[in-house]
Each structure stands twice: as C-alpha cells, then as structure tokens.
Amino acid sequence: MADMEPPDRKPQSDGSEMGWRALGYLLSGIIFWGGAGYLVDLWLGLPKVGLLVGMLVGAAAGMYLLMKQMSP
C-alpha cells in the first residue's frame, strides 16, 4: 500500500506526446484546408491552384496553433 501513487499524479512524459500532437495539427490543417481549396477549385472551375494554396494555408494555420499552444 505504501508504494501506490496518488490518483492525481501523472507519469512523466517523454516528449512523444507533444510530437504526435504537433504532427496531428499539421496534417489535419493541410488535409482540411487542402480539401477546401480543392472543392473551391471544382466549384469555380479553376485549375488546381486552390489545392496548393489551401495546403499552404493549412500548414501555416497548424504551425500557428502549435505556437499558440506551446507558448506560456
């Protein structure tokens, strides 16, 4: 009984949790905004420029969210 930890104590993180979170933010931003750009291209009948622009916007948005979350 003496070696049991209290329930509110969390185990030490090795950093992989933050790495997976960063990867998730970046990939989800690129996929979501790239898909939105692709749909705008189809709707307006434009060449595939919207896909590239959407992917760049998604990458920038993902990096912004990461910096916002990691700042104190």
In a domain, 8, yes or no: no
What does the longest C-alpha to C-alpha distance in the chain come to?
69
What separation in angstroms does the CA of 29 have from each of 3, 33, 60, 69, 72? 44, 6, 8, 15, 23
pLDDT tens digit sequence for 27-61: 999 999 999 999 999 998 888 888 899 999 999 99
In a domain, 40, yes or no: yes
In a domain, 21, yes or no: no
In a domain, 58, yes or no: yes
In a domain, 41, yes or no: yes
Domain count, the chain: 1
**Domain range enclosing 58:** 34-72
pTM equals: 0.72
In a domain, 51, yes or no: yes
